[in-house]
């Protein structure tokens, strides 16, 4: 422990000043929120919510309370302010400021994203035919962001004749995007303007018709697809599809073959597609195969056929089927690649002579390359157990080059061009870690397996500095998400080095609710099995303690959004296991939120969490919902964060949770609430501004660790 403290403090001597200040200053008083009892009744069960009044963002009393919480956070962390700034500069110093992406070629142009020294936002540019050609700036987001506290260019879509760009911008962080069009020849922004879109758009072949998705004003559900004609008023746009089922969302895109405009409808368990030939923008979209509850499928077009990735017929881990263009209903699908119980089929990419499969086996990414004529088939070789390999952007169809990315917990990310014919590979770019101190050999990565309480083996990916002793006193930050089938693959992070170099171990728990071990891994952590997610995380923590990696005095946990729900559930189940918790934008008032279909995204969540209008799901949700489970007991030190404009987890969920915890918890541990008054779910915009939020989180953890005797 003595060695750890030397590493922790080093030249950043914040702890000493912290101790001196604490001796001279009395502890600030935490804000106490008023109580206004609100009776919530369902299924003959009555819940009293004393903080329901916080739901109104426009209420000045709510804003005043949040500002008091921010002031309390600032007072309580004032002694780490310089350390936060030093951490920020340290993390920033590892990142190459004047960086650029590996160019990709599409429709005769090389497209590049680059950053300039001292600037927060990307510059999007292109070069015609050759990388030696003059650079043409498409968007300089640094200029576009001027005057805005928040800025996000969601995406842009180039017209087939390369002269126009449809783009979408959000300056509030509410994920309401304004769609506009730029003339790439003149630089002029056209008068066309559509508000409250979902951010994506696609061009038809005529270079004057744009399809885009629009959101419900209240729920923010993307439910309508419109057709816009260049030069027309948005009020004249034609509604081409309306997703009336409130549990579904809708989006629009163009097939890689460029032949079809495709509308996708999706819920958690069911999908449906509609197709229209891109050269017939005023035609009618045709249903690919009618939706059937529980049937998921995704489509890829090649020559005269569609390839369908689907779970049809009980294919839990998905299989690939094939169907002719003209008759695409599911009864006509023919098996192309069968279902495999031990392999999750995640996606398919097409090229002129090859197709590429993204698979996952025993938790590990695999990339399989197959010639259409069947003369060659092989997997790319990967050796580590803590790596991530993904097929990258490959817009070119007629090429033998597959671009993919690779990184591991101790290996910076690389972008690799692989010749599928010769099997030769070229590393196009390797992530630079500036500062001259990083070498991968200084960090140890491995995968371990914990045994959950029901006997299931749960994997964890771990990384730590080679000088860190796993002697029961090593501080560990355990991270996870565990919902929606989203897999947190083991990945490299330059930011994380600020923890590893100070003696921390970083562990990703691949718990149920994600899809790390295939689709059944997800199914076993949702709906009425959701508590498996929380139990897995706790049992992974117990494993780390039992195996002598750490102890409860040195164990920390972090999660965001649904991972914030995980944190809330974990501190209800086993608060004694952790010294500190970071719950970012946490979804903690599960029952109330899921009963309120006016809240953005709620109705589309029923297949994930259940519908509490049914008593069975209501009772189950209430039994783990962190807000409902707050009790008079001791909790770990906690940092809770949110954004006032969050459209996914409303700010009032963590606000109410913190207020209730303050009222009833019996310990004297720190409870801090940090509200970004200018941001939403993703936090601050800008390449480096977001690092300040990470610096706050890391300073919180390191400060706690430094105080342990």
Catalytic residue numbers? Answer: 561, 646, 681
The rounded distance, in Å, linking the Cα atoms of 610 and 617 is 6
C-alpha 597, offset from chain centre:
23
- Two tokens at 456? 């299931």
- Residue recorded with tokens 């559509």: 194
Locate the DSSP E strands across 243-386: 249-254, 260-266, 271-277, 286-287, 297-302, 305-310, 319-324, 334-337, 343-350, 354-361, 364-371, 377-379
The rounded distance, in Å, linking the Cα atoms of 315 and 332 is 17
Non-local (6+) Cβ contacts of 120 within 8 A are 142, 145, 685, 686, 687, 688, 689
Contact indicator for 211, 240 with CB cutoff of 8 Å: yes
- Two tokens at 460? 């964890």
| CB neighbourhood size of 585 (10 A) | 28
Angle, vertex CA 271, rays to CA 270 and CA 276, nearest 5: 165
The rounded distance, in Å, linking the Cα atoms of 31 and 25 is 18
Provide the 8-state DSSP code for 32: -
- Two tokens at 658? 């913190």
Provide the 8-state DSSP code for 403: E
Q: 460 has which bridge partners? A: 448, 509
The rounded distance, in Å, linking the Cα atoms of 220 and 535 is 32
Buried b (16+ CB within 10 A) or exposed e, 477-494: bbbbbbbbbebbbbbbbb
The rounded distance, in Å, linking the Cα atoms of 604 and 625 is 19
Burial class (CB in 10 A: 0-12, 13-18, 19+), 192: buried
Non-local (6+) Cβ contacts of 592 within 8 A are 40, 47, 49, 52, 627
**One-letter-per-residue 3-state SS of 556-609:** EEEEECHHHHHHHHHHHHCHHHCCEEEEECCCCCHHHHHHCCCCCCCHHHHHHH
Provide the 8-state DSSP code for 688: T
Provide the 8-state DSSP code for 649: S
Contact indicator for 691, 697 with CB cutoff of 8 Å: no
The rounded distance, in Å, linking the Cα atoms of 436 and 456 is 43
Count of all residues that appear for the chain in the document: 709
The rounded distance, in Å, linking the Cα atoms of 406 and 436 is 22
Contact indicator for 344, 358 with CB cutoff of 8 Å: no
- Two tokens at 412? 């910076």
Contact indicator for 163, 154 with CB cutoff of 8 Å: no
């Amino acid at each position: 422990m003595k060695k750890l403290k030397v590493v922790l403090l080093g030249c950043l001597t914040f702890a000493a000043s912290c101790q001196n200040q604490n001796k001279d200053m009395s502890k600030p008083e935490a804000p106490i929120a008023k109580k206004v009892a609100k009776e919530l009744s369902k299924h003959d069960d009555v819940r009293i919510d004393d903080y329901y009044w916080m739901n109104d963002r426009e209420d000045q009393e709510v804003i005043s309370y949040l500002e008091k919480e921010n002031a309390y956070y600032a007072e309580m962390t004032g002694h780490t302010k310089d350390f936060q700034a030093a951490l920020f500069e340290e993390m920033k110093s590892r990142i190459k400021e004047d960086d650029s992406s590996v160019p990709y070629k599409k429709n005769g142009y090389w497209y590049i994203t680059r950053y300039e020294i001292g600037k927060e936002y990307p510059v999007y540019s292109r070069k015609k035919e050759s990388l030696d050609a003059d650079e043409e700036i498409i968007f300089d987001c640094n200029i576009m962001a001027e005057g805005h506290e928040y800025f996000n260019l969601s995406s842009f879509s180039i017209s087939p004749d390369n002269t126009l760009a449809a783009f979408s911008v959000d300056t509030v962080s509410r994920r309401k995007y304004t769609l506009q069009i730029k003339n790439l020849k003149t630089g002029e922004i056209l008068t066309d303007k559509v508000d409250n879109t979902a951010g994506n758009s696609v061009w038809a072949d005529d270079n004057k018709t744009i399809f885009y998705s629009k959101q419900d004003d209240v729920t923010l559900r993307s439910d309508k697809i419109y057709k816009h004609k260049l030069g027309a008023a948005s009020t004249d746009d034609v509604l081409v599809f309306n997703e009336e089922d409130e549990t579904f969302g809708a989006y629009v895109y163009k097939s890689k073959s460029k032949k079809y405009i495709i509308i996708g409808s999706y819920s958690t368990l069911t999908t449906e597609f509609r197709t229209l030939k891109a050269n017939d923008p005023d035609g009618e979209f045709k249903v690919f195969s009618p939706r059937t509850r529980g049937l998921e499928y995704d489509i890829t077009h090649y020559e005269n056929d569609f390839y369908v990735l689907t779970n049809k017929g009980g294919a839990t881990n998905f299989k690939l089927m094939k169907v002719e263009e003209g008759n695409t209903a599911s009864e006509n699908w023919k098996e192309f690649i069968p279902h495999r119980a031990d392999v999750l089929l995640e996606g398919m990419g097409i090229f002129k002579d090859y197709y590429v499969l993204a698979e996952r086996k025993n938790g590990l990414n695999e990339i399989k390359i197959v010639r259409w004529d069947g003369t060659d088939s092989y997997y790319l070789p990967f050796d580590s157990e803590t790596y991530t390999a993904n097929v990258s952007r490959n817009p070119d169809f007629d090429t033998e080059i597959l671009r993919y990315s690779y990184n591991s917990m101790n290996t910076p990310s690389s972008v690799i061009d692989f010749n599928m014919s010769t099997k030769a590979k070229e590393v196009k770019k390797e992530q630079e870690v500036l500062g001259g101190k990083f070498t991968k050999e200084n960090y140890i990565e491995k995968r371990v397996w914990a045994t959950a309480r029901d006997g299931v083996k749960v994997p964890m990916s771990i990384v730590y500095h080679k000088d860190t002793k796993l002697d029961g006193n090593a501080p560990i930050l355990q991270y996870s998400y565990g919902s929606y089938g989203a897999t947190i693959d083991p990945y490299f992070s330059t930011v994380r080095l600020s923890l590893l170099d100070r003696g921390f171990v970083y562990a990703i728990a691949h718990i149920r609710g994600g899809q790390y071990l295939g689709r059944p891994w997800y199914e076993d952590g949702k709906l009425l099995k959701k508590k498996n997610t929380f139990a897995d995380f706790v049992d992974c923590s117990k494993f780390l303690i039992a195996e002598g990696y750490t102890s409860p005095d040195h164990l920390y946990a972090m999660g965001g959004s649904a991972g914030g729900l995980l944190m809330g559930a974990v501190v209800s189940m086993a608060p004694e296991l952790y010294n500190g918790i970071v719950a970012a934008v946490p979804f903690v008032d599960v029952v109330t939120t899921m009963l309120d279909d006016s809240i953005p995204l709620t109705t589309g969540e029923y297949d994930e969490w259940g519908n509490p209008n049914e008593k069975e799901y209501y009772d189950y949700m209430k039994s783990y919902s962190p807000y409902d489970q707050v009790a008079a007991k001791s909790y770990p030190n906690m940092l809770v964060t949110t954004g006032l404009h969050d459209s996914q987890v409303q700010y009032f969920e963590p606000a109410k949770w913190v207020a209730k915890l303050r009222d009833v918890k019996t310990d004297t541990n720190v409870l801090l609430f940090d509200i970004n008054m200018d941001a939403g779910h993703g936090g601050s915009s800008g390449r480096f501004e977001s690092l300040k939020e990470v610096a706050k989180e890391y300073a919180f953890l390191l400060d706690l660790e430094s105080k342990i005797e």
